[in-house]
Amino acid sequence: MEKFDINILGCGSATPNPRHYTSSQVVDIRGKLFMIDCGEGTQIQMRHQRMAFARLNHILISHLHGDHCFGLLGIISSFGLLGRTAPLYVHAPSELWTILKPELDFYCRELEFEVVFQGFDPNVVHTIYEDRSLTIDTIPLRHRIPCAGFLLREKPVADHLDRQMADFYGVPTWDFARIKAGGDFTMPDGTIIPHSRLTKPAGPVRSYAYCCDTAWNPGMVEQINGVNLLYHDCTYSSEHSDRAELHYHSTAAQAARIASQANVGMLMLGHFSARYYDEEILKNEAGAIFPNTILAKEGLHVPVV
Amino acid sequence: MEKFDINILGCGSATPNPRHYTSSQVVDIRGKLFMIDCGEGTQIQMRHQRMAFARLNHILISHLHGDHCFGLLGIISSFGLLGRTAPLYVHAPSELWTILKPELDFYCRELEFEVVFQGFDPNVVHTIYEDRSLTIDTIPLRHRIPCAGFLLREKPVADHLDRQMADFYGVPTWDFARIKAGGDFTMPDGTIIPHSRLTKPAGPVRSYAYCCDTAWNPGMVEQINGVNLLYHDCTYSSEHSDRAELHYHSTAAQAARIASQANVGMLMLGHFSARYYDEEILKNEAGAIFPNTILAKEGLHVPVV
């Protein structure tokens, strides 16, 4: 199966602390790296996890709180010092450019690569990225300031040709594409060889939703329905649901209810408040509602399956 | 002896790497913390070293390269989230305010403390801080952009009164200040008790010079003459002296020659290029010229004696 891994660089909230970096993760899809959020120290974490800077061409920023974007200037600057020439795409709420542009002009006048800023409005769904095998859509969330989640979804691929069977029935190479796309093959004697005998089914389409930071937000359930993996805001336990409400974050139970309503495959909890020394309390709270729940952790690699 | 310690938070150059954070250190003088430079991740390092954020009121920035100041916005933001109310003084080349002010306006609108920006011109000597026991002067350095070093020097203090001796000779308490300041005491019978019998000498005045980033800069030798500890740019070994010249940094040998010419007590090498996996080569090169040389390292605490 093609690679589709989530790598956690930071999963704490608000300020870095001795146990957690602030928000950042890298999605590795078939060797292409997509960074989601970029808190302070993200480039340090990438180094520690020995990730190839050269394979990172897209950085997605969910919203403009510092714990999600204070590492951006540093990583761009380092790319420049390390001799990068390939363009770097930054997908973020449009307002970011009003400060990032002057910062780049001030600190990074000598970059030999282009920072391509692609702003979006976090309040509506946009397809911000698309290639042959993947789409990335924004997910409107409910936070203190406009904030987007991201839905990364593989595109359906054609079935794989069973080359041995194709050769056995004498399918000419120029007809392969049509067979893979769903066609049957008619032999010279009129016998029809069905598509299913000539191909092996492609793997299922996989998807990942990153929904952080957000208050209780059932409005997104339809959009993320059936994703294989959901990363959800879990800043608090239910004991602190008043704080969750006040700061537009979620409790573990709320994250689990969203996971349950959206029929996701697995729930990963993140964006932990520093008040929980042992985050098992959050996992237990969510697990009682949605059993297939794990805790994010710096250094964790989770394949999307 | 009163505390006067240097704590290294980062001593790498250019970009963070798995072995080094970028430049930052905290000078602890009698419980007051002064931060010198603030590369990305500095607040993370402070947390790891369990330093009290509340005792930090002054941040000194040497120059406006990202590896010396990209952590500033994050630490200010975190101070805000942690409920700081005391003013924070930022002493930096004046130009910094043209970007820091818009950054604070963008990201930190709700701070409940004042960021007091005190700009200076790195090309001339300024006294940027003074209290009853300490002065901090800038040191003009030779770098690609205007860059200052910092000279932290204790003020001479009065001798300590030897209370037992003072009582023995019947010195009245109202006369203590005069005696401590250097006076003798005349007894009722006319006998003169010399100052030296009534007091114990104060400890020697100590001083610390931070000279990073700089090319070979003998112009500063007079200003830093006799400091107890010198932290000096040591980006390269002599093998790469052409690169040192090109980028306005120093070699280990140059750092040692400055230490020798300035008759400093001890030399600490820092701002290492990532190319040296084993920095002993730098220590050996400097040590051959100036034996009392040590390597900076994250987590190192060096008392100034």
Domain count, chain B: 2
Domain residues for the domain of A9 are 4-157+203-303
- Do A167 and A239 have their domain in common? no
- Do A150 and A47 have their domain in common? yes
Distance (Å, whole) CA B149 – CA B124:
11
Q: How far is B82 from chain A (nearest CA, A)?
A: 9
CB atoms A74 and B66 under 8 Å:
yes
Q: How far is A255 from chain B (nearest CA, A)?
A: 24
- Do B269 and B223 have their domain in common? yes
Q: CA-nearest residue of chain B to A70?
A: B74
- Do A255 and A135 have their domain in common? yes
Helix (H, G, I), strand (E, B) or coil at A203: coil
Closest CB from B44, B64, B66 relative to A41: B44
- Do A208 and A147 have their domain in common? yes
A102 in contact with B at a CB cutoff of 8 Å? yes
pLDDT of amino acid B203 = 80
B15 in contact with A at a CB cutoff of 8 Å? yes
pLDDT of amino acid A158 = 82
Taking residue A292's Cβ as centre, other Cβ atoms within 10 Å add up to 14
Task: Label residue B299 exposed, middle or buried (CB < 10 Å: 0-12, 13-18, 19+).
Answer: exposed
- Do B171 and B274 have their domain in common? no
CB-CB contact of B292 with B305 (8 Å)? no
Residue B202, pLDDT > 90, answer no
- Do A208 and A254 have their domain in common? yes
CB-CB contact of B235 with B213 (8 Å)? yes
Task: Indicate which of B17, B38, B70, B98 best probes the interface with A, i.e. most A CBs within 10 Å of its own CB.
Answer: B70
Q: A250-256, long-range: CB within 8 Å, 24+ apart, which pairs? A: A250/A214, A250/A215, A250/A216, A250/A217, A251/A285, A252/A281, A252/A282, A252/A283, A252/A285, A252/A286, A253/A285, A253/A286, A253/A289, A254/A216, A255/A286, A256/A285, A256/A286, A256/A287, A256/A288, A256/A289, A256/A290, A256/A293
Q: What averages of pLDDT result for each successive group of 10 residues across chain A (305 residues)?
A: 95 94 97 97 96 96 98 98 97 98 96 98 98 96 98 91 93 92 93 93 92 98 98 98 97 98 98 96 98 98 97
- Do B152 and B25 have their domain in common? yes
A106 in contact with B at a CB cutoff of 8 Å? yes
Containing H/E element for B45? helix B42-48
Q: Which two three-digit tokens encode residue A228? A: 């294989």
A41 in contact with B at a CB cutoff of 8 Å? yes
Taking residue A32's Cβ as centre, other Cβ atoms within 10 Å add up to 15
CB atoms B99 and A107 under 8 Å:
yes
- Do B36 and B47 have their domain in common? yes
- Do B133 and B189 have their domain in common? no
- Do B14 and B114 have their domain in common? yes
| Sign, Cα dihedral of A292, A293, A297, A303 | positive
Q: Give the rounded percent of residues in chain B with a pLDDT score beyond 70.
A: 100
CB-CB contact of B143 with B213 (8 Å)? yes
Helix (H, G, I), strand (E, B) or coil at A302: strand
Q: How far is B210 from chain A (nearest CA, A)?
A: 23
- β-bridge partners, A115: A88
CA B272-B278-B279 angle, to 5 degrees, is 40
A238 in contact with B at a CB cutoff of 8 Å? no
Closest CB from A16, A48, A107 relative to B47: A16
pLDDT of amino acid B279 = 97
Tell me the pLDDT tens digit for each residue of B165-181: 999 999 999 999 999 88
Distance (Å, whole) CA A285 – CA A276:
13
- Do B26 and B116 have their domain in common? yes
pTM of the predicted structure, to 2 decimals: 0.92
CB atoms B15 and A48 under 8 Å:
no
CB atoms B107 and A64 under 8 Å:
yes
Distance (Å, whole) CA A254 – CA A245:
11
ipTM for the predicted complex comes to: 0.91
Q: What is the DSSP string of A62-96?
A: --S-HHHHTTHHHHHHHHHHTT--S-EEEEEEGGG
Give the range among A266-275, B50-59, B90-99, B153-162 with minimum mean pLDDT: B153-162
CATH number for the domain harbouring residue A69: 3.60.15.10
Residues in A touching B14 (Cβ below 8 Å): 78, 81
Residues in A touching B82 (Cβ below 8 Å): 15
Taking residue A62's Cβ as centre, other Cβ atoms within 10 Å add up to 29
Q: How far is CA A124 from the centre of its chain?
A: 18
Query: Chain A window 74-93: which residues touch B at a Cβ cutoff of 8 Å?
Result: 74, 77-78, 81-82
Helix (H, G, I), strand (E, B) or coil at A18: coil
Q: Which residues contact A85 (CB under 8 A, 6 or more apart)?
A: A112, A113
B49 in contact with A at a CB cutoff of 8 Å? no
Q: Between A and B, how many residue pairs show a Cβ–Cβ distance under 8 A?
A: 85
